[in-house]
Amino acid sequence: MFNKLKIRGGVHAEERKEQSTCQPVRKLGIPPLLNLPLRQHAGKPAQPVVKVGQQVKKGELLATSTGDDVCASLHAPTSGTVTAVGEITAPHPSSLTTQAITIEPDGLDESVPVEPLADPMTLEPGEIADRVDQAGIVGLGGATFPAALKLKSGARQKIDTLILNGSECEPYLTCDDMLMRERAEGIISGARLIQRAVGARRIVAGIEDNKPEAIAAMQAAAANYDDVTIQAIPTRYPMGSAKQLIQAIMGKEVPAGGRSSDVGALVHNVATAFAVHQALYEHQPLISRLVTVSGACIEAPQNVEVLLGTPVSWLLEQCGGLTEDPARIVMGGPMMGQILRTADVPITKGASGILALATPEISKNEASPCIRCGSCVSACPMGLVPLEMARHAKGDDFDGAKEFGLRDCILCGSCAYVCPSHIPLVHYFQFAKGELSAKRVQERKGELTKSLSEARKARLEREAEEKARLKAEKAAKAKAAKEAKARAKAEKEAKAKQEAEQASEESGS
Amino acid sequence: MVTAVAVLTLLGLALGFLLGYADKIFAVEENPIVKEVESMLPGTHCGQCGFPGCSGAAQAMVDGEAEVTCCPPGGRALAQQLAEKLGVDADLSGMASEPMTATIEESLCTGCCRCYRVCPTDAIMGANKQIHVVFADACTGCGKCVDACPEDCIGMHPEQETLDNWQWPKPAAA
């Protein structure tokens, strides 16, 4: 009740979650082809360590993380042959290509042998983080930030509370809900490993109160641990955003431009915690994930466990196919997901859902001018003024938009959802953020080229000086030689003269 | 009442004259449009226009000594904005629509070392009789290497669109 008062903005969209929760999670088989993008995490692409034609086994390392960069490694989801390392269409609204490893499964699903491990709870914190790194685990809520880096930085900072994010506030999506219902033990076990890795005092799992079954399952799993609490939080989008979740659970606001650790919190998704459990107890790197398949165009909406790299088109077929041509296919949730132009893209680590939406489910209204009603201002969970940010973005005044807090915008879409004029506010913010980052890149390049051209100028000057010095030295040498020669000649002449004089004197005398 | 009115009136007049006088004495002679033009330029001081930095180019453009098309990194978009700002007609025919970078056709390069000697940012690496290569990150697209290449194997191309530099287009106006 009191928590509700602390929450700013947000919207309550129609949930549409019940379609996909009526049957248990189904494990899908092995698709005919797997495409694994080298970058399905935030940061730099992983470095491939396999060659075309190589046989790989399930769980074998395909690409490794690159040293100190933000990066995550990649493993073979099943056994088979690497048939290509090259470009494929990326699961991205641009439909541009991305580097990927293609595997043709052999259907045997042979695993790499694992060496037995002592109880993971006895491992040193740093070792837990290393193993999470080796398993290629990233934030599975959608941000896909490498989990090991969060654990390592968490161990350096003072983390009081590990928050398990089980809010799943996006409409349609139920994969975290089903995971909590069916695998709560694993989530709690993974969370306790993360707690050990960062040295947190307590674990709080925040679950929206529209998931009573999940809350009950998690409470049962956490019953044996005093430092684990399950907290029901109000159902309000975007509760799953780390900043909003921290505010709801701890009553503290993360400062603008700051991180969760600034208020002593570390937020991990429940699915990430489960992946940590799988990696350390079951020796299985991140090779599959739960995906919600839903939307009006889906024959049988459900949650499925799929191998990473599975083509979306194959996944849709396995779920009974499409009942009609979808107006839009979205990877992720309807509020913040990525629009897919084609279904011939792979499932990646961050894909929480595949939604095939029919025309009535999406807004196709023409935008009309802003009437300055302020609905977006009251809906903004970050306390920003979306109408002003959009006005500046529209006028190409991106610095003006930045002054109104564009950098703090989490692109949740609450403002666009409530806008009575149907202004594509988030699209404006995406556009403005893109322009600002392009400008930053251009500026950095400018600085680089400026320093390079200065260095070149200095080098050319140095070279010219050197040349001049050498020339002068040579000239001086030549002059000295000439003088010496002249002197020798003069001496010789003088001597000859003297001798001649002497001779004449002698002959005269 | 009368005193107050008189005092305030006199004070106002005196301060007014003081301000007017100060404006004349401390007047800064600067064309505000130069500043505006400078803020529109990329600010990278690359020197491709032949002026010392972007401020020099802005001054020259305002004085009519330089074409608005003299900034290659800004590309066609900037030239158009500048032409609008300065009220001149821009001849955009010779300009690329976006910033360009040089690429070397490796099958034609003979390793003559001429291109990297003229590169103002040392963006080309090579050695005698070895294929040369351009670092796109350091290339400003000035085209000096194109003129220097005896084999005609250097071309200017716009930067390839990738997931890293792709951005959302501007929404259609409401």
Domain ranges of chain B: 32-94, 100-158
Q: Give me the pLDDT at residue A394, please.
A: 92
Closest residue by Cα to residue B111 from B127, B122, B135, B90: B127
Q: How confident is the model at residue A402 (pLDDT cuts 50, 70, 90)?
A: very high
State how far the alpha carbon of A426 is from the alpha carbons of A368, A394, B146, in Å: 15, 12, 43
pLDDT tens for each residue of A264-279: 999 999 999 999 999 9
Q: How confident is the model at residue B95 (pLDDT cuts 50, 70, 90)?
A: low
The phi, psi pair for A182, rounded to 5°, reads -100, -30
**How many CA atoms are closer than 13 Å to the CA of A254, on its beta-carbon side?**
22
CA A281 – CA A185 distance, rounded (Å): 12
CA A166 – CA A208 distance, rounded (Å): 7
**Predicted structure pTM score:** 0.81
B123/A452 CB distance under 8 A = yes
B137/A94 CB distance under 8 A = no
> Which candidate from A96, A443, A452 shows the least CB-CB separation from B121?
A452
**How many CA atoms are closer than 13 Å to the CA of A504, on its beta-carbon side?**
5
Instruction: Determine contact, residues A175/A144, Cβ cutoff 8 Å.
Output: no
> Which candidate from B45, B162, B168 shows the least CB-CB separation from A450?
B45
Residue of A nearest to B121 (CA): A453
Q: How confident is the model at residue A464 (pLDDT cuts 50, 70, 90)?
A: very high
What CATH architecture applies to the domain B100-158? 2-Layer Sandwich (3.30)
Instruction: Give strand pairing partners of A193.
Output: none
Rounded to 5°, the CA angle A458-A461-A462 comes to 85
**Does the pLDDT of residue A421 top 90, yes or no?**
yes
- Interface probe with B: pick from A338, A368, A452, most Cβ of B within 10 Å: A452
A368/B174 CB distance under 8 A = yes
The rounded Cα A454 to chain-centroid distance in angstroms is: 35
Q: Give me the pLDDT at residue B25, please.
A: 87
Chain A residues in contact with B42 (beta carbon < 8 A): 442, 446
Q: Give me the pLDDT at residue B94, please.
A: 65
A450/B120 CB distance under 8 A = no
Chain A residues in contact with B168 (beta carbon < 8 A): 93, 427, 430-431, 434
Element (H, E) at A393: helix A386-394
A78-82, A449-453, B145-149: which has the minimum mean pLDDT? Answer: A449-453
* Beta strand ranges found along A250-336 (DSSP E): 265-269, 288-294, 302-307, 328-331
CATH superfamily of A2-106+119-355: NADH-ubiquinone oxidoreductase 51kDa subunit (3.40.50.11540)
Closest residue by Cα to residue B168 from A211, A141, A398: A398
CA A173 – CA A448 distance, rounded (Å): 45
A394/B73 CB distance under 8 A = no
Domain extent listing, chain A? 2-106+119-355
Give the closest-approach CA distance of B138 to chain A in angstroms.
6
A448/B137 CB distance under 8 A = yes
Mean local confidence (pLDDT), A338-360:
94
DSSP states of A204-268: EEEEETT-HHHHHHHHHHHTT-TTEEEEEE---BTTTSHHHHHHHHH--PPPTT--GGGGTEEEE
For residue A313, give both structure tokens: 């088109």
A102-106, B76-80, B133-137: which has the minimum mean pLDDT? Answer: B76-80
**Does the pLDDT of residue A2 top 50, yes or no?**
no
Chain B residues in contact with A369 (beta carbon < 8 A): 174
Instruction: Determine contact, residues B103/B158, Cβ cutoff 8 Å.
Output: no
DSSP at B15: H
A95: left (phi over 0), alpha (psi -120 to 50) or beta: left
DSSP states of B20-35: HHHHHHT-----HHHH
Name the strands in the sheet holding A302-307, side by side, starting at the edge strand that comes first in the sequence: A26-27, A302-307, A288-294, A353-357, A328-331, A338-340
State how far the alpha carbon of A472 is from the alpha carbons of A434, A455, A460, A467, A486, in Å: 56, 26, 18, 9, 21
Q: Give me the pLDDT at residue A357, please.
A: 94
Those residues with Cβ within 8 angstroms of residue A460's Cβ, 6 or more apart along the chain or in another chain:
none
* Beta strand ranges found along B18-128 (DSSP E): 100-104, 124-125
Closest residue by Cα to residue A19 from A301, A353, A290, A361: A301
Interface of chain B toward chain A, CB-CB under 8 angstroms: 42-47, 73, 120-123, 137-138, 140, 161-163, 165-174
**Does the pLDDT of residue A6 top 80, yes or no?**
no
Mean local confidence (pLDDT), B52-79:
81
CA A304 – CA A354 distance, rounded (Å): 11
3-state secondary structure of A294: strand
pLDDT tens for each residue of B7-45: 999 999 999 999 999 988 888 777 788 888 887 776 656
Q: Give me the pLDDT at residue A1, please.
A: 42
**Does the pLDDT of residue A509 top 60, yes or no?**
no
A105-109, A151-155, B99-103: which has the minimum mean pLDDT? Answer: B99-103
Mean local confidence (pLDDT), A449-466:
87
A456/B120 CB distance under 8 A = yes
Beta strands A302-307 and A26-27 are parallel
Chain A residues in contact with B162 (beta carbon < 8 A): 96
Give the closest-approach CA distance of B161 to chain A in angstroms.
8
Give the closest-approach CA distance of B9 to chain A in angstroms.
41
The C-alpha torsion from A375 through A381 and A382 to A387, rounded to 10°, is -20
Helix-strand-coil split of chain A, %, nearest 5: 40, 20, 40
Instruction: Give strand pairing partners of A269.
Output: A165
B169/A431 CB distance under 8 A = yes
The phi, psi pair for A161, rounded to 5°, reads -125, 125
State how far the alpha carbon of A507 is from the alpha carbons of A236, A495, A502, A504, B173, in Å: 132, 18, 8, 5, 119
CA A99 – CA B12 distance, rounded (Å): 73
Interface of chain A toward chain B, CB-CB under 8 angstroms: 39, 90, 92-94, 96, 98, 367-370, 394, 421, 423-424, 427-428, 430-431, 434-435, 437-438, 441-443, 445-450, 452-453, 455-456
Chain B residues in contact with A100 (beta carbon < 8 A): none
Give the closest-approach CA distance of A188 to chain B in angstroms.
36
Chain B residues in contact with A447 (beta carbon < 8 A): 44
ipTM of the complex: 0.76
pLDDT tens for each residue of A178-200: 999 999 999 999 999 999 999 99
Closest residue by Cα to residue A109 from A133, A141, A80: A80
Q: How confident is the model at residue A280 (pLDDT cuts 50, 70, 90)?
A: very high
Residue of B nearest to A368 (CA): B174
Residue of A nearest to B120 (CA): A453
**Does the pLDDT of residue A398 top 50, yes or no?**
yes
DSSP at A346: B
CA A23 – CA A177 distance, rounded (Å): 12
Residue of B nearest to A396 (CA): B170
Q: Give me the pLDDT at residue B164, please.
A: 85
Give the closest-approach CA distance of A123 to chain B in angstroms.
38
Mean local confidence (pLDDT), A354-362:
92
- Residue in the structure block whose two tokens are 């595949």: A354
B42/A455 CB distance under 8 A = no
Those residues with Cβ within 8 angstroms of residue A40's Cβ, 6 or more apart along the chain or in another chain:
A74, A138, A144, A308, A348, A349, A350
A445/B44 CB distance under 8 A = yes
Q: How many CB pairs under 8 A join A and B?
A: 79
- CATH code: domain B32-94 is 1.10.15.40
Instruction: Determine contact, residues B145/B152, Cβ cutoff 8 Å.
Output: no
Q: How confident is the model at residue A425 (pLDDT cuts 50, 70, 90)?
A: very high
Q: Give me the pLDDT at residue A393, please.
A: 94
State how far the alpha carbon of A357 is from the alpha carbons of A93, A306, A310, A362, B19, in Å: 16, 21, 20, 7, 67
